[in-house]
A = this chain, B = another copy of it.
Amino acid sequence: MTDADALRDQDERWMRRALAEAAAAEALGEVPVGAVVVRGGELVAAGHNLTHTLQDPSAHAEMVAIRRAAQALGEWRLLACTLYVTLEPCAMCSGAIVLARIPRLVFAAHDPKAGMSGSLANLVQHPRLNHRVQLTTGVLADEAGEALRAFFRARRRNRVNPRDTADAPSPGGGADGS
């Protein structure tokens, strides 16, 4: 096995853990996005989207995982950590990743509607900010995107609050189109 193969296996392993977090979000009726922070091959913290559960607009999966990781490490700088997340981070989360000095970000599905780690902009590698992040994209993107598309298909069938559609990402620019 080459180093590249080993890294891909490791990335897929941790992305599966992030997908389990996404499933935990979905079980709460939240948009299914999950994240984990990993250091030295060990899980530091995990989180999933809790914006509706907590009525906290900042409670995206990445923010929850970053805050828990900083608590676990007792240190606001998440040095030597990798963040895995099932959907491309938005502006808020991309900014938080830079503030936390996270060296490496791995995400699954792109978010062409609000993604700011490569889609609408690339804030995690901004030339004027004081930290730039190594970026790997597309790991288990099909599985992550399908979980999101299935969630929004079901929500359209059982529409309770039409305003909620404004939150819908459109992962991977697929046929979802919402």
Question: A residues touching B (Cβ–Cβ < 8 Å)?
Answer: 51-52, 55-58, 63, 66-67, 70-71, 74-78, 90-96, 98-101, 113-114, 116, 120-121, 123, 126, 128-131, 166
What are 9 A-B pairs at a CB distance below 8 A? A57-B77, A57-B96, A57-B99, A58-B96, A91-B91, A92-B98, A94-B95, A95-B95, A113-B128
Q: For residue A63, which residues in chain B have a CB less than 8 angstroms away from its CB?
A: 58
Distance of A66 from chain B, by nearest CB (Å):
6
Q: For residue A56, which residues in chain B have a CB less than 8 angstroms away from its CB?
A: 67, 70-71, 76
Chain B: CB-nearest residue to A98: B91
Cα distance A170–B172 in the bound complex, in angstroms? 38
